[in-house]
Structure formats: structure tokens, C-alpha cells
């Protein structure tokens, strides 16, 4: 398992309810890919969403996001943190 | 105070020690701008660093990062989180 930050663009105007629903859609199916989404942050003005997760691979994260209806634009492993 | 995610590019090959030193350099002076850096994550392969903070403004964050020697490339307010 490793830590990843994935980024979604084009989410301009996302609301708190929409962010919560999107995150819940990930949580509902994440176990099938052994992914654990930890936190997500959204900037409705620029349409950027950041998701922090623990996962076996970037591909596993993308499969969850795709099945939940919101493919990630970038997925970066972040092996270092402070 | 608001929550921000800032992003640094071009940090390819950053090490754990370098990330810790950069973060400490921010912490050493953040109080002067009423900024609180919370967490940071780094992807040495793509050279991307993400910093989560509480701050009065994006400008305050940039002043800290500039004085610490590592200007941010993007600073996004993230008013929504889950």
C-alpha cells in the first residue's frame, strides 16, 4: 500500500453536497480495489478537487474513480509526507 | 482564516530530508503571516509537492514560501472538504 494524491480538474462550481456525494460514491466501492480514500478538498472557483488515499496502485484508484463516475486527471504517488 | 492547498512543481528528486527542511523553514516564519502549515506531501518522481495550510490569504502563504526559498506555483483556496 502507498499514499496517493489524485487531482480532478473541471469541477467548477462543485458544492459541498456534490463533493460529499462523490466521496461517498468512492467509499461505497473502494473495498473492491483495496483502496482507502482518506480526505478530499475542493476549490469550486478553479474547479480543482484533491483526493488523498492509500492504495495498492494508481490504477486501482482510477478504477474506483471511473466506476464512481469521476475519472481523475492526475494521480501522483506521494511517498514523502510531513 | 481559510484552508488552502498549494502546489510546487519542479521538485524532482526531492528527498525526505529536503521536504522536512523545507517544511521546517515554513514553520519557522509562518507566525509572522498568521499562516499555519498543516501537512505536505511530495512526489519525487514528478517533482510535485502539495502543502495544506490554514491562512488569512493566498498572498500570506506565498510570502512565507518566498521568504523560505520555495515559491508556490499554484495556491488554491479549498473551502470544501470531506
pLDDT of residue A62: 98
pLDDT of residue B45: 96
pLDDT of residue A9: 97
Say if residues A49 and A40 touch (Cβ distance below 8 Å).
yes
Encode chain B (82 residues) as per-residue pLDDT tens digits: 999 999 999 999 999 999 999 999 999 999 999 999 999 999 999 999 999 999 999 999 999 999 999 999 999 999 999 9
Asked whether the beta carbons of residue A81 and residue B41 sit closer than 8 angstroms, the reply is yes
pLDDT of residue B29: 98
Asked whether the beta carbons of residue B80 and residue A50 sit closer than 8 angstroms, the reply is no
ipTM above 0.90, yes or no: yes
Q: Please give the mean pLDDT across all residues of chain A.
A: 98
Say if residues A68 and A35 touch (Cβ distance below 8 Å).
no
- List Cα–Cα distances, B35 to A2, B9, B56, B70, B72, in angstroms: 29, 21, 7, 15, 14
Q: Which of B23, B41, B45 sits opposite A5 (nearest CB)?
A: B41
Distance from CA of A73 to the nearest CA of B (A): 14
Say if residues A67 and A29 touch (Cβ distance below 8 Å).
yes
pLDDT of residue A75: 97
Q: Using one digit for the tens of pLDDT, what is the confidence trace for A17-54? A: 999 999 999 999 999 999 999 999 999 999 999 999 99
Show the domains of chain B with their CATH numbers: 2-77 (3.30.70.3090)
In this complex, how many residue pairs, one in chain A and one in chain B, have their CB atoms less than 8 Å apart?
A: 75
pLDDT of residue A79: 98
Q: Does A2 touch chain B (CB under 8 A)?
A: no
Q: Does A42 touch chain B (CB under 8 A)?
A: yes
pLDDT of residue B10: 97
Spell out which residues of chain A touch residue B26, defining contact as CB-CB under 8 Å. none
Q: Which of A3, A5, A44 sits opposite B80 (nearest CB)?
A: A44
pLDDT of residue A39: 97
Distance from CA of B6 to the nearest CA of A (A): 11
Amino acid at each position: 500500500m502507498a499514499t496517493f494524491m489524485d487531482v480532478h480538474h473541471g469541477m467548477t462550481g462543485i458544492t459541498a453536497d456534490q463533493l460529499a456525494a462523490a466521496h461517498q460514491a468512492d467509499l461505497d466501492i473502494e473495498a473492491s480495489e483495496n483502496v482507502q480514500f482518506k480526505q478530499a478538498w475542493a476549490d469550486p472557483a478553479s474547479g480543482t478537487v484533491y483526493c488523498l488515499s492509500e492504495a495498492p496502485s494508481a490504477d486501482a484508484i482510477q478504477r474506483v474513480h471511473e466506476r464512481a463516475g469521476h475519472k481523475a486527471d492526475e494521480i501522483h504517488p506521494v511517498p514523502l509526507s510531513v
